[in-house]
Structures are given as structure tokens and as C-alpha cells.
Amino acid sequence: MVILLMIAVGLIGANSLILSPIASEVALGLGVANPADVMSAAAAYGAGVSISALVMAPLADRIGADIALKHALILVAAALAISAAAPDMAFLTAGQMLAGVGVGMALPAIYTMAAVISKPGQEAQTIGKVLTGWTLAMVGGVTFSAYIAEFLGWRAVFSILSIAVFSVLVFMYLVHIPSAPRSDKVTSPISAMKVPGITGALFSVAMFGAGFYGVYNYLGTHITEVLGRSVSDGGQFTLLYGLGFGLAMIFDRYLDRLAPRRALAGIFAILFGLFAIAYYISHAFTPFAILMFFWGMINHLGLNMTVNRLNKLDHSQRGAIMGLNSAVMYLCIFVATVGYRPLFEQWGLQACILVSAGMAIFGLIEALLSRQAAKAAGVTA
């Protein structure tokens, strides 16, 4: 079951990452003059995820995360098929928005199921294995999509993804999946926001997500335009980051021995140190590339603990809470991309790194303060 959840995350992550490297092929195939216009479909996908994560994800609390996941994957598979057959940009955009709606329901259900199937005291290990799917997306999905698009065409990329998602769905019906708890009460983003500790936990997600995407989104441009390296050289950064993200799974067992707030305090402190180093070596290609490996490792641990922290808040509202998590994370992608752009254009990547280092400090302070408050209330922190 863990493997199926991991593959599902990988396929979902692949769709969110592949449009950029094959944008020129898609533009040529659809008769779009500017490849950048193709990325409007990616924006529609992000909007679909955010809206669905808020509106649809809470349904998992009523029908069960296992059923919600299956329904969501049916929608994602169909949406990817629509994207593959799209005759023009309007259909591609609609297909990607529909995929976003499915993903907005699927990701919270996956994270909820990871908590449901994990053995007591091994939640971090299970969630860590599932999160490794993002490594499959970054290392495999992004790399192979470019080759598939070049030799078989861009429609083959979405077709293969659609078939793969449908295959995972079939296996989920063939293999016994534990039933997730059902809640009798109606949950929603509003009810989830009333859960004690949710505000601090979502603040931690925001600091973590915005700090990452604010630097990562402009890394490629920095490598090609500032460092004067090729696009393939930039791919080495993604590869090393993905490898670090995946290999960090070996440390997940140790996270189970730590309370989420305590672990996050240490993770944000290390993250600040990495940003400090990045500030000084951002113009040195090889050292910066090596740093990406360690950045991937610490981000794996940070993502694990933010999800773990949220999962522990209220078991009866896990769907709604995980929906808020996805909505905040995808909102961070938008905010970071727009907010960091003037910083990058005016002062370069170092300015982006400085702001992200500040966010790591804010994340550290929140983790320490909330841990102190929890301990005062007699709660494990």
C-alpha cells in the first residue's frame, strides 16, 4: 500500500512539473506562437488544486480517505487523457484545471492514508516513504518527459501519465486497502481552522513552502543567465536535489522519536544555515550544486514533519486539515513566484536567498514558541 501511495504521489508530482520542459513542443503542436503562453495551463492546474483542496478535500472525512482517493484518481486519469487529446489551448487548460481538482482531493487523501496505515510510533517513516514519490517526479518525471516528448510527441507524455494513474487505481481495487475512519460531523476549512494548533502549523507550512519556491523557481534562470551555464547543467541541480530528497528517507525513523515541533525547530535552524551558505556560494556552480543535495535532504525532513504535525491535530478532520495544507502550499507557489520576482530582477538570487533565510528564522521562532506553549499545557511538543 505504501508503494502505491508513493507512486501516486510521483505521478501527481510529475504532471505538476513536466509542462515547463515540454512547453515548446506543446506550443508547436497546438499552433501557439509563444511557448510561455502554454504555462497558463500550469496556472489553471494550480488554481484547480487550491480550490479543490479547500472545497473537496473535507469530503474525505465523511466518505473516508480511501474512497476519496480512488474517486480523485479516476478524475486525474480522465483529465490527463483530455490533456493528451486536447485540440487547442482551451482544452489543454481545461484538462489541466480538471487534473488540479482531482489532485486537490488526492494529495490530502494520500497524506491521510499514510497516517492511517502506519504503525503506532512509525508515522514519520511511513509519511517519509510516501513523500519519496516527489523524488520519482523530479528525477524520473521531468527527465524522461523531455525525451518522450522529443521522440514520441508531447501527447504521449500525458497519455502515459493517464495510463499510469489508471493502473495505480486498478491495483488499489485489487489490493486490500484499509478503510479510513469516517466522521459523522460535517467538516470544512472553517471547522478545521478552529482546531487548536492549526494556525501555527499552517504558518510553519507557509514559511517552509514560500522559502523553498522563492529560491527554487528562479534557480534555473540564475544558472543560465547569471552563471552562463546550459539548461542541461541546470538539470544537474534538480537531479542532486531529488537524490538528496529521496535518500533522506533513511533518517525518517529518527524523526519518530521526536515531537513534530521539536523536530521542526532543528530543521528550520539547519535550513537557515544552508541559506547562509548558499548566499556566499551562489555564484560558484559546483559548490552550489553540491549544496542542492543537502537542501533536498533537509526539505524532505521538513515536509515530513509539517505533514506529521498537521496529521496529529484532529483525526476526525484530517481531510479538511490536509486540504488546508495543500491550499497553503500551492498558494505559496503563487506568492513566492510573484513576490520574489522583483527581488530577483533587481538584486539577483542572493536577495531571494536572504528573504528565505528570514522565513526560516520565523519558522524556527514559531516552532520554539509553540513548543513552549504546548509543554506548558502538558502536551508532548
- Looking at per-residue confidence, does 189 or 377 come out higher? 189
Burial class (CB in 10 A: 0-12, 13-18, 19+), 250: exposed
- Tell the CATH topology of 189-376: Growth Hormone; Chain: A; (1.20.1250)
pLDDT mean across residues, the chain = 84
Reported as a single tens digit per residue, the pLDDT across 126-176 is 877 887 777 777 667 766 776 787 788 889 989 999 999 999 999 888 887
Asked if residue 340 lies in contact with residue 355, where contact means CB atoms within 8 angstroms, the answer is yes
Q: Which of 152, 185, 102, 126 is nearest to 4 (CA)?
A: 126
Residue 33 DSSP symbol: S
Distance (Å, whole) CA 362 – CA 272: 10
> Above 60 in pLDDT, residue 381?
no
pLDDT digits (tens, 9 = 90+) for 312-371: 888 778 778 888 888 888 888 778 877 888 888 899 899 999 999 999 999 999 999 988
Would you list the domain boundaries of the chain? 2-174, 189-376
Instruction: Look at the domain 2-174 and name its fold.
Output: Growth Hormone; Chain: A; (1.20.1250)
Confidence of residue 72 (pLDDT cuts 50, 70, 90): very high
Task: Confirm whether 2-174 and 189-376 share one CATH topology.
Answer: yes
* Chain-centroid distance, C-alpha 99: 15
Per-residue confidence (pLDDT) for residue 294, from 0 to 100 = 94
Contact assessment for residue 182 and residue 63, using Cβ atoms and an 8 Å cutoff: yes
- Model pLDDT, residue 287: 94
- Which three three-digit cell numbers place residue 98? 480538471
- Nearest Cα to 135, choosing from 367, 261, 339, 297? 297
For the stretch 8-17, pLDDT in tens is 888 888 887 7
DSSP letter at 139? Answer: I
Q: How confident is the model at residue 200 (pLDDT cuts 50, 70, 90)?
A: very high
Radius of gyration over alpha carbons of the chain, in Å? Answer: 20
Question: Rounded to whole angstroms, how far apart are CA atoms 116 and 294?
Answer: 30
What's the CA gap between 48 and 59, in Å, rounded?
16
Q: What is the pLDDT of residues 252-299, one digit of tens each?
A: 778 777 788 889 999 999 999 999 999 999 999 999 999 999 999 999
Q: What's the mean pLDDT in 213-230?
A: 81
Biggest alpha carbon distance in the chain? 63
Q: Residue 83 to residues 26, 101, 107, 151, 172: CA-CA distances in angstroms?
A: 11, 14, 20, 18, 24
Q: Which residues of 80-117 are buried (b: 16+ CB within 10 A; e: fewer)?
A: bbbbbebeebeebbbbbbbbbbbbbbbbbbbbbbbbbb
Instruction: Count the residues in the chain.
Output: 381
pLDDT at 125 over 80: no
Looking at residues 301-306, what average pLDDT do you find? Answer: 89
Q: Are 105 and 308 in contact (CB under 8 A)?
A: no
Contact between 80 and 158 under an 8 Å Cβ cutoff? The reply is yes
CA 55-57-62 angle, to 5 degrees, is 105
pLDDT band at 67 (very low <50, low <70, confident <90, very high): confident
Predicted local confidence at residue 77, as pLDDT:
95
Residues 6+ apart with CB under 8 A from 316: 61, 181, 183, 185, 187
Task: Give me the residue label for grid cell 530582477.
Answer: 345
Work out the percent of the chain whose per-residue pLDDT is above 90.
Answer: 28
Give the per-residue pLDDT at 231.
64
